[in-house]
Amino acid sequence: MQRIYSSLGKSHDFYKKRNRKFTMSVLEVMTIQILFHLSGYREFKSFYLGYVQKFMKEYFPKTVSYNRMVELKKQSFMPLSIFLKSENLSDCTGISFVDKSTAI
C-alpha cells in the first residue's frame, strides 16, 4: 500500500499516530465531573454539551470534544477517586450502586 501511495509522489507513514496533547488538565476534567454530579443532570453528554461548553466558557476556555472528554474521564478516574477519599467525600451511606452508562 505504501508503495502505491509513494508512487503518487507522496511519502507518508500510514501507521503514524497523532501525538497531540489534550488541552484540558486532569484537574479541569475532575472539576467538570464533580459539577456534573452536583448539577442534577441525568446524562453527562447533555451536561457537557449543553451546559459546560455553552455557559462555562470563561471557566473552561479550552474545552475538548465530547468524545475526547469521555477518554479524559477514563484517565482521571483514579486521581478523582483518591481526591474524594482523601477529602472524606466518599463515605458510604449504606446504599451503593454502579451505573454502567457513566463509566463509558
pLDDT in tens, 19-52: 666 578 889 999 999 999 899 899 999 999 999 9
Is residue 62 in a domain?
yes
Residue 14 lies inside a defined structural domain of this protein:
no
Domain contains 59: yes
Structural domain includes residue 41? yes
Per-residue pLDDT of 57-100, as tens digits, reads: 999 988 999 999 999 898 888 888 888 878 776 666 666 555 55
Domain that holds residue 54: 30-89
Question: For residue 47, is it within any domain?
Answer: yes
Helices 77-86 and 26-39 cross at an angle (nearest 10°) of: 70
- Asked if residue 6 belongs to a domain, the reply is no
74 located within any domain: yes
pLDDT at 52: 95
Please state the domain count of the chain: 1
Among the listed residues 38, 35, 25, 37, the one whose alpha carbon sits nearest the alpha carbon of residue 75: 25
Q: Please report whether residue 79 resides in a domain.
A: yes
The answer to whether 54 touches 92, Cβ cutoff 8 Å, is no
